[in-house]
Amino acid sequence: MQKTKTSPLLALPLHPNRDESSTAGEGVDESSAAAAAKKTRIEAEEQQPEVQAAAAEAARDKKGPKPFEALAGVNGGDPYDVLVWGMEGSGKTTMLRDFLGAFGNHEEGLKELQRAKKEDTPPVVFPVSFFGKKLRILKCSGKEQCYALIRDQLGRTKWLFLVYKPTMEAQEVFSFLEKAIRDGLSAGCRILLIANLWNVLRGAERKVDRLELQDLALKRSMCYVVETTFFFDALSMVAPTFPMQTCRPLTHRPPPGFGFPTENGVREDPRTPPIATGSLGESRRGGDIGRKVETEEEVMPQLMLLRPSLKGTESMGRQAGEKPREEGGWNDVRCVQKVTESESAVTCVCFGQERQHFHYYLLAAAAKDGNVVIYRIYRTEMERAQMSKDLLDKIQSVTSGQRSQFDAALASEHSMVATHTRLVGHSGEASSMCFSPLEDQVVTASIDKTVRVWDSETGEMKKVFTDSLPCLVAAFLPFNPNIFVATNTNAVLRLMNLHNGTVHQKLKVETAVRALTFDDTGRYGMAGTKAGHIHILEASGDKNLKFKFRLQVATAPITCMTFVPSKDPQRHPMLLVSHCDSLVSIVDFYGQAAGMLSCMLQRRVKVEHSLLPLRCCYSDHGGGFLISGSEDKEVYVYALAKGAQYKAATLEHHRAPVLAVATNALDSLLVSADSMGSIAMWRRYDFSHLNQK
């Protein structure tokens, strides 16, 4: 008879408590007893697998208690805020020990970790006080035999932290993560993947591709990813999701030297943010942890792109009613006027002086041939009625009661655009343009190797700054209107004095910076590169910037970045990033006001974009919309309101790729410009007065 293969665990004696003396006392020799025992064991393997499993379980019980039985009297049935789990050798214990040792009030947690290591009991439960939040953390083993026991705890867990090292074998890492993510999402957990960079930062080869892991999180599993060596960073990412509780805060910052080597030196403060990416991160229970499942009808907000600024007629209403009307009445947003200055592609557009005149504001449009035209956009009657008291007071204070010669209402609303002035001087494509903080000047950068400063009223050229290479971007420092930042194709950023051209600082990055913007506080700058990286810069004094960290959002060139400040406590500030791989990334900002800035990739949306320098913008009205140009001649619109599920729509009018888009401050006008030189102006019509008749 052929023996059945058995594992060492299943080859245990059927009666482990029976000794040899009992057999010898019955007058049977050792060889006969051994043969009988062998025969009995073989029969048990073939005929009684359930008896065999019971024997294996009894053997494990003899060695010690089951892992989660060791927690009896500790968990008390309470849920866990965080369950830390990872592959064997991923360094999760070291990360936790370093975190608990660097801050006060965590002696109990350190003792629990030390006891678990000494007694070889993998699960450990301990409390953590984290910036006013009292958290309950469960640390589990990565051993395969503990998997089923850990899975049983996921239903009581808010956040599941999955730790791995990028230096591990990629196939093993993805196999573990896919299985753990599937089980975690099924249990309703939010998930944070933690890439422990300890070995990578010491020169070890990275075997797990960062972008593949991002795709795993973004497209398949709806979870976050963070790359760091500090457990502090992971908790900082998820801390806003926990309610504030009464507890002792952290007693002190980490001691000097508590850090790891980076490209620019030693990181000494764990509050310096990590590299993080992730998706929207909402669990199946809804936007808030523990929230019940809501249907699409319950959470879908009313979407309305642009404020109404023109009254529709009955014939227009009948025409719109014949078409299928979508959410937010997309058919009510129409192109009301088109301006074509030349057949040269319009590369960028921006609004200015919206708080300086009652009847009009300015729109600047730069073209590939180097010409820049500034238009006056006259406000409609409905726009003037919607102006806030603060805006009216601001206009009054700026003008001191003396209005411009153009600040008067037009007789007709059929043509609301007039040429204000022309900026002539560039001999090559204008690649960037912006108004100064006081909006009395316009700064343009061009591939003709110059940055020029213009008077926005007269069109007079005030200054010309030359470079040895084509200039790509120019932008003012928000906290110092006398300093601007200019970039060139050699990946150099220069901070220059507007009046005398003095170069106060030079910064070098890995590839050319094609997009540059600042947050609403003026403290942080974002530089997007040709390699798909975003360098986060922090103001150091009033004339200098310093590198803070780097975030990779794509492998294709970044062409535009738009910062969106937060006006709702429930929503974080955002950065909208266009890049040449047919995607626009939405990046969340955390800890901006507290000086603990960190970034997390929230979502990617599709836009036809592979070659041209397309731009995007944001409209705040109606819950918020991402608006982007595209290479398929349409204006793409994505709803960003909570519960809108990134509902998409397109505006069709152009006959060429749409390169640039912009909205005014009132969110009543959207302009889009294409590669054939046409500028389309979009407004929402109001038909409510027809329903009252």
Higher pLDDT, 530 or 249: 530
Q: Give residue 57's pLDDT.
A: 46
Specify the pLDDT at position 692.
61
pLDDT tens for 454-484 read 999 999 999 999 999 999 999 999 888 899 9
Q: How many CB atoms lie within 10 A of CB 656?
A: 15
Q: What is the pLDDT of residues 170-185, one digit of tens each?
A: 999 999 998 888 888 8
Note the pLDDT tens digit of each residue in 2-44: 444 333 333 333 333 333 333 333 333 445 555 555 555 555 5
Q: How far is 430 from 369, CA to CA, in rounded Å?
A: 7
Cα–Cα dist 192/162, whole Å: 6
pLDDT in tens, 71-113: 433 444 578 889 999 888 888 888 888 877 765 556 666 777 7
Angle between helices 92-102 and 231-238 (to 10 degrees): 80
d(CA 431, CA 414): 32
Query: In the chain, which segments carry CATH 3.40.50.300?
Result: 77-293
Written in H, E and C, the secondary structure of 85-106 is EECCCCCHHHHHHHHHHHCCCC
Whether the CB-CB separation of 646 and 630 falls below 8 Å is answered with: no
Q: 147-158 in b/e burial notation, b at 16+ Cβ within 10 A?
A: bebbbebbeebb
More confident residue, 47 or 149: 149
690 vs 250, residue with greater confidence? 690
Q: What is the rounded distance in angstroms from the CA atom of residue 70 to the CA atom of residue 61? A: 12
Greater confidence (401 vs 204) lies with: 204
The band of 421, judged by pLDDT with boundaries at 50, 70 and 90, is very high
Predicted local confidence at residue 88, as pLDDT = 86
Q: Would residue 52 be called left, alpha or beta, if left means φ above 0 and alpha means ψ between -120 and 50 degrees?
A: alpha
The half-sphere exposure of 197 on its side-chain side, counting CA atoms within 13 A, is: 20
Q: How many CB atoms lie within 10 A of CB 98?
A: 17
pLDDT at 424: 94
Provide the pLDDT for residue 580: 95
Share of the chain above pLDDT 90, in %: 39
The answer to whether residues 649 and 330 touch, using CB atoms and an 8 Å cutoff, is yes
User: Looking at residue 153, what is its pLDDT?
Assistant: 85
Confidence at residue 243, expressed as pLDDT on a 0 to 100 scale: 67
- The matching CATH number, chosen from 3.10.580.10, 3.40.50.300, 3.40.930.10, 2.60.60.20, for 77-293 is 3.40.50.300
pLDDT tens digits along 261-297: 333 333 333 333 444 544 333 332 233 222 333 333 4
How large is the average pLDDT for residues 372-377?
Answer: 96
DSSP letter for 385, please.
H
Look at 360 and 26; give whichever has higher pLDDT: 360
Q: What is the average pLDDT across 388-392?
A: 81
pLDDT at 431: 95
Which segment, 10-14, 64-68, 157-161, 414-418, is predicted with the most confidence on average? 157-161
pLDDT of residue 672: 98
DSSP state of 17: T
Q: Which helix (H) or strand (E) holds 43?
A: helix 30-47
Whole-number pLDDT of residue 649: 92
| 77 close to 136: Cβ distance less than 8 angstroms | no
Residue 212: which H helix or E strand, with range?
Answer: helix 210-215
pLDDT of residue 259: 36
Closest among 474, 469, 509, 479 to 495, alpha carbons compared: 474
Cα gap 177→164, rounded to integer Å: 9
How far apart are alpha carbons 220 and 181 in whole angstroms? 10
Mean pLDDT of the chain: 77
| pTM of the full structure | 0.66
